[in-house]
Every structure is written in structure tokens, then in C-alpha cells.
């Protein structure tokens, strides 16, 4: 187990779940553990995680290799045992004790024989107890690219921590629990980009590698996985029953969620169908109006063609009218000339007759005649 206890432990003081990053292994382990549990924290260090568990009404027993760190952890643990898991038996140091949860937060990779420790841990778990562990991913992209450059340099922190004795990928992590007599209920991950300034992985320059190599690595789902967060149950009838119960409850919750979503989806579908029907009705009306408009347009086009034909006919006929008028007017002009001549002759005759009448009225005979007619009128002979 880790002996240099002071180099990377967060301070327990003031540490609360609300301030934890969602990508933090502490946050993800807390989610797996739940509240109100009796917990044994292997490698409890200064008790920073025990402090978080205490806030969730958990009772914590701590196991720590370093006595100085263990002394600090006593403030947050019900009991702290100083022990090196490579040299002691869990059955002995925790004799006659049973726990709901056994925690290995970045501990298994420090042990010479993590398989043996996990196997012994089953003896201290309650009927429905389980293990929660965080384990670094040696297949992180930064490690793999560093190997391409021929580098595998240990560091004070992170995946290549100089106190790590074991290294695990997703596959070997699953084999670790399977060979130790567990079945994994759930796996979560913390993430860290391949090209990062973090002290937890080698610092690399992206332009030192071909795009093909990077694209190939990016096909791996764990290329940026920093840690695997595992919840595992002992492979026994009780453990399987507990897992089935847990999964059953999860399925019920998921079913309720799905049913709620289904109801919402059905309601939305009904609204969509109603809107679709309205839209179809409007479309049919629009199509009917369009057909009417097209029919009217065809009639208008037909009328226009007829009108254009009539106009062409009128234009054609109008071109012949002046000639016809000229031909029709020719006889009328001759008749007018004849009438004019007759009128002149009549006027001449009239003037001549007028002269004759004037001459007659001025003659003596005409005057005697007029006097005679007046006399007859006076004596009453007329």
C-alpha cells in the first residue's frame, strides 16, 4: 500500500459533496455507495473520503498503512486500524465484523496480490454487501502514445504513480474481479483528455504524432478514461439475489420513467396527428382551390385566345375598310355633284320667276287689279 501519504491527499477540512466535480472519482464512488451504510475504507489516508461518507450518515472504519495519516483520520472514522494489506489478513484485522460496503479508492493497484485481498473481503461483507473501487486505466491514450515514443516514466502522481505495483485495462480490471469471485454490477469512468497538462498523465505534443495514429486510438472508448469506478457483488446466491433485487428496482424506476416518457410521447403524437389532420384538410382545401384556380386560368386562357383571334380578325378586316369606303363613296360624290347642279338650276329658275312677279306687281294693270279687289271687299261682293 501507499507509504508516502502526504503527497496527494485532499484536505478533509471543509470538503463537501457539493464541491466535488461530477468527473471526480470521489463523487462517482459516493453515488455508488449511497447513504446510511456501514463502510470499511481500505487506504483511508487522512479520512477525507470518510468525512464525505460521514455527511451521508455512514459509519466508517478506516484501514491505513501510515500511522500519521491514520491519526488524522480518527477524527472522521469510528475506528482506524493501521495495517499493511500485503502482510495481514483481512479476516484477522476485521474479525467478527460485517459491512455494507468495502471501499478500495485507488488502492488495489498498490497491492502485491489484489486478488487475494478481494477474495478475503467477501468474508466481511453483509448479505447484500458489495465492493466499490476506483482503478487507474493503464490504456489511457497518453500512456500508449508515450510508449510509441519509447517512454514509460514513473511519476509522483497519476496513472504512472511510482508506488503502483499493478496496472489494469478495462478487460484486466474485469478479470480481476471475476477471478476474485465477484460479478461487476456497474462500471463508471472518470475522463481526462489525451493531450493534457495534468500531472496525472504524460504531457505530450499532439503534433509529434500522425493523424492516422491519433484517429486509430480515438476509436477506443477508453482512450480518455483515467479511472474505472466499479461496483461489484460477491459471486454467490445471496450476492446474485441482491444484484437481481437492485436491478429489479432499477428496472422499475426505468420503467416508470419510460412510461412517463411514453405518455408524453403519445400525447405529443396525438397533438401531431391532430395538427397533421388539420394540415391535410388545409392541403386538400388548398388543392381544391388550386384546381379551381387552374380551371379558371384555363378558361381565361381560352377566352384570351378567342379574344386574340377576334382581334386579329378585326385587324385584318380594318386593313380593307379604307379601300371599301373609297369605293363606296365614289358614286355618292357624283350624285352630290348632280344635285348641286340641279340646285343651281332651281335657284336660277326661282330668281327668274321672282323677277317676273316683281315686274307684274309694279305694272299698272296689277295695281288696278289690286284696287278692284279691295273695292269688292268693301261693298261686300267678295
CA dist list (Å): 73 to 49, 58, 64, 67, 77: 9, 15, 9, 10, 6
Question: Dmax of the chain from CA atoms?
Answer: 192
pLDDT, average across residues 28-49: 97
> Greater confidence, 279 or 151?
151
User: What φ, ψ does residue 132 adopt, rounded to 5°?
Assistant: -120, 125
The CATH T-level fold of domain 17-235 is: Rossmann fold (3.40.50)
Q: Is it the case that residue 204 has pLDDT exceeding 80?
A: yes
Q: Which is higher by pLDDT, 381 or 245?
A: 245
CB 114 within 8 A of CB 108: yes
Give residue-wise pLDDT tens across range 62-113.
Answer: 999 999 999 999 999 999 999 999 999 999 999 999 999 999 999 999 999 9
Instruction: Confirm if 238 and 196 have CB atoms less than 8 A apart.
Output: no
Residue 288 vs residue 30, higher pLDDT: 30
Q: Which long-range contacts (CB under 8 A, 24 or more apart) does 168-175 make?
A: 168/108, 168/109, 168/135, 168/136, 168/137, 168/138, 168/228, 169/137, 169/138, 169/139, 169/222, 170/137, 170/139, 170/222, 170/225, 170/228, 173/135, 173/228, 173/230
| C-alpha neighbours within 13 Å on the C-beta side of residue 258 | 6
- Within a 10 A sphere around the Cβ of 343, how many other Cβ atoms? 10
Pairing, β 125-136 against β 99-105: parallel
CA distance linking residue 101 with residue 116, whole number of Å: 18
Please state the rounded mean pLDDT for residues 344-362: 75
**pLDDT surpasses 70 at 382:** no
Domain ranges of the chain: 17-235, 236-323
Over residues 245-271, the mean pLDDT reads 86
Q: Among residues 19, 62, 18, which one has the least CA distance to residue 41?
A: 62
The answer to whether the CB of 61 falls within 8 A of the CB of 94 is: yes
- Under DSSP, the state recorded for 43 is T
User: 194, 184 in Cβ contact below 8 A?
Assistant: no
Cell of 337: 355633284
Question: pLDDT tens-digit profile of 290-338?
Answer: 888 888 888 888 888 888 888 888 888 777 766 666 666 565 667 778 8
Higher local confidence (pLDDT), 350 or 20 = 20
pLDDT at 5: 47
* 3-class SS of residue 371: helix
Amino acid at each position: 500500500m501507499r507509504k508516502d501519504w502526504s503527497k496527494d491527499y485532499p484536505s478533509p477540512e471543509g470538503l463537501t459533496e457539493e464541491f466535488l466535480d461530477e468527473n471526480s472519482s470521489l463523487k462517482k464512488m459516493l453515488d455508488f455507495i449511497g447513504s446510511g451504510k456501514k463502510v470499511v475504507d481500505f487506504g483511508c489516508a487522512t479520512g477525507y473520503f470518510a468525512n464525505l461518507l460521514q455527511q451521508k450518515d455512514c459509519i466508517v472504519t478506516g484501514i491505513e498503512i501510515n500511522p500519521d495519516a491514520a491519526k488524522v483520520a480518527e477524527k472522521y472514522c469510528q475506528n482506524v486500524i493501521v495495517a499493511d494489506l500485503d502482510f495481514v489478513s483481512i479476516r484477522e484485522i476485521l474479525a467478527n465484523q460485517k459491512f455494507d460496503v468495502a471501499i478500495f479508492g485507488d488502492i488495489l493497484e498498490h497491492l502485491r496480490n489484489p486478488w487475494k485481498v478481494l477474495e478475503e473481503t467477501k468474508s466481511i461483507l453483509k448479505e447484500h454487501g458489495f465492493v466499490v473501487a476506483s482503478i487507474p486505466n493503464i490504456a489511457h491514450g497518453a500512456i500508449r502514445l508515450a510508449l510509441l515514443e519509447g517512454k514509460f516514466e514513473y511519476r509522483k502522481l497519476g496513472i504512472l504513480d511510482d508506488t503502483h505495483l499493478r496496472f489494469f485495462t478495462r478487460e484486466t480490471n474485469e478479470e480481476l474481479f471475476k477471478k476474485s469471485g465477484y460479478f461487476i454490477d456497474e462500471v463508471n469512468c472518470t475522463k481526462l483528455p489525451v493531450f493534457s497538462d495534468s500531472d496525472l498523465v504524460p504531457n505530450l505534443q499532439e503534433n509529434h504524432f500522425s493523424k492516422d495514429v491519433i484517429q486509430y486510438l480515438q476509436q477506443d472508448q477508453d482512450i480518455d478514461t483515467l479511472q474505472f469506478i466499479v461496483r461489484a457483488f460477491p459471486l454467490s446466491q445471496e450476492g446474485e439475489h441482491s444484484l437481481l433485487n437492485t436491478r429489479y428496482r432499477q428496472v422499475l424506476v426505468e420503467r416508470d420513467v419510460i412510461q412517463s416518457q411514453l405518455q408524453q410521447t403519445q400525447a405529443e403524437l396525438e397533438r401531431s396527428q391532430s395538427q397533421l389532420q388539420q394540415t391535410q384538410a388545409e392541403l386538400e382545401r388548398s388543392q381544391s382551390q388550386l384546381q379551381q384556380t387552374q380551371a379558371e386560368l384555363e378558361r381565361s386562357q381560352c377566352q384570351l385566345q378567342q379574344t386574340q383571334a377576334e382581334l386579329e380578325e378585326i385587324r385584318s378586316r380594318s386593313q380593307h375598310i379604307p379601300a371599301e369606303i373609297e369605293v363606296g363613296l365614289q358614286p355618292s360624290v357624283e350624285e352630290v355633284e348632280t344635285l348641286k347642279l340641279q340646285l343651281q338650276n332651281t335657284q336660277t329658275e326661282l330668281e327668274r320667276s321672282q323677277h317676273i312677279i316683281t315686274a307684274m306687281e309694279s305694272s299698272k294693270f296689277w295695281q288696278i287689279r289690286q284696287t278692284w279687289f279691295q273695292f269688292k271687299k268693301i261693298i261686300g261682293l267678295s
